[in-house]
Amino acid sequence: MPLIARLTPHRFHQWINRKRGRAEEDTFPTLYRANTSRDIHHIADSAGLTVTYMEFIERCPEYLRIMAFTYLVVLNM
């Protein structure tokens, strides 16, 4: 999902969120700076911190709510 977010223009995200019932002005540019283990460790190290535990939790992708079928399929996996 982060790759798709990076490759699609902001206007596209506004359009999708408008379809989801959100106002365009509530859609903000996507900036990924610390969404990998490597990035988090690097940032922590540069700040003098140590990562002692990390857990990645993946929930049902909210972007699938546009189509109930896909959302329910992923939700039940």
Residues 6 or more apart whose CB falls under 8 angstroms from that of 61 comprise 1, 74
Q: Are residues 42 and 28 in the same domain?
A: no
* Res 47: pLDDT: 97
For the segment 11-31, what is each residue's pLDDT rounded down to a tens digit?
988 888 888 888 888 888 877
Report yes or no on whether pTM surpasses 0.85.
Answer: no
Helices (H) and strands (E) in the chain, counts: 4, 0
Does 73 lie in the same domain as 56? yes
Q: For residue 53, give its domain range.
A: 34-77
Q: What are the two backbone dihedrals, phi and then psi, of residue 56, each rounded to the nearest 5 degrees?
A: -100, 125
- Which regions of the chain are under pLDDT 50? none
Q: Are 27 and 45 in the same domain?
A: no
Do the beta carbons of residue 50 and residue 36 sit within 8 Å?
Answer: no
Same domain, yes or no: 25 and 54: no
Residues 42 and 76 in one domain: yes
